[in-house]
């Protein structure tokens, strides 16, 4: 099969083994990339390893607390050492806590900033340093439509995703001369572990679907194509973009 995306034998690190990160890691592995996945949750990593075995692909895992600057940088360095370099870095780490802004305590703000934004800064900075030196790299963040839209009860989540979008743009501007592209995808309402409990509330799923012109919620698999493209050799002249993968949610 022709390696149209140019991902075969590329070294890829995926930060986050949740629904989107897992789907991306498995897709990269199926394209022939050499993949490592870093996450703080050992059980989640073990489950992903089992999924990879069932699909007949290989990937490595590493337990790491990516909200800690030192551990995040060690995870990136360790992945590069194990994989023989680093060509692709995907950040798919995130959490939310839905409540009114006036009722959001300091510790919730701090935790969401640590998980969603600081982990992106520490890991992408470390990955970018390696890629700039190598003269090639693809960095992709998983953002959200909440970085653009003003959803109620999403203050810290929206603020951090807006921060990720600007982090993406600035890194893209600085690293473009070195062959490194930096982009983000912004999913709309997507069925993942992060959203399941919220969507299971009475009437919530129907309400959310009603806001999407495509007439359905997204899935992790809907995001795989855009993630693979932005991780590939085919996206060499695409940088600093936030791609909305939302079934038209941002149009209404």
Which positions are annotated as active-site residues? Answer: 157
**How far is CA 155 from each of CA 74, 150, 161, 239, rounded to the nearest angstrom?**
31, 8, 10, 27
How far is the C-alpha of 215 from the C-alpha of 209, rounded, in Å?
A: 6
- From CA 193, how far away is CA 183, in angstroms rounded? 24
Task: Measure CA 127 to chain center.
Answer: 14
237 Cβ contact list (under 8 Å, min separation 6): none
Q: Give the sign of the dihedral formed by CA 63, CA 79, CA 45, CA 186.
A: positive
Whether residue 179 contacts residue 87, with contact meaning beta carbons closer than 8 Å, is answered with no
| Gap between the Cα atoms of 186 and 146, Å rounded | 8
Name every residue whose Cβ is closer than 8 Å to that of residue 42 and which is 6 or more positions away in sequence: 63
Q: Mention every residue, 6+ apart, whose C-beta is less than 8 A from residue 78.
A: 62
Enumerate residues 6+ apart whose C-beta is below 8 A from 166: none
Q: What are phi and psi of 201, to 5 degrees?
A: -65, 145
């Amino acid at each position: 099969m022709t390696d149209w995306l140019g991902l075969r034998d590329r070294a890829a690190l995926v930060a986050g083994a949740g629904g989107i990160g897992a789907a991306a890691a498995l897709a990269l592995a199926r394209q022939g990339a050499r993949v490592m996945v870093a996450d703080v949750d050992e059980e989640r990593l073990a489950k992903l390893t089992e999924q990879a075995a069932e699909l007949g692909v290989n990937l490595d895992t590493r337990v790491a607390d990516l909200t800690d600057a030192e551990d995040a940088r060690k995870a990136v360095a360790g992945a590069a050492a194990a994989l023989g370099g680093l060509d692709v870095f995907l950040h798919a780490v995130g959490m939310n806590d839905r409540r009114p802004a006036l009722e959001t305590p300091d510790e919730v703000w701090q935790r969401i900033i640590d998980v969603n934004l600081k982990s992106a800064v520490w890991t992408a900075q470390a990955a970018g340093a390696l890629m700039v030196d190598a003269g090639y790299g693809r960095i992709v963040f998983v953002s959200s439509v909440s970085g653009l839209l003003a959803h109620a009860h999403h203050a810290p989540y929206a603020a951090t995703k807006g921060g990720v979008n600007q982090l993406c743009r600035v890194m893209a501007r600085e690293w473009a001369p070195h062959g490194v592209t930096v982009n983000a995808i912004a999913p709309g309402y997507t069925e993942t572990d992060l959203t399941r409990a919220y969507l299971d509330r009475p009437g919530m799923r129907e309400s959310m679907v009603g806001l999407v012109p495509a007439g359905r919620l997204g899935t992790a698999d809907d995001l795989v194509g855009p993630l693979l493209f932005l991780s590939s050799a085919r996206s060499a002249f695409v940088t600093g973009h936030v791609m909305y993968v939302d079934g038209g949610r941002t149009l209404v």
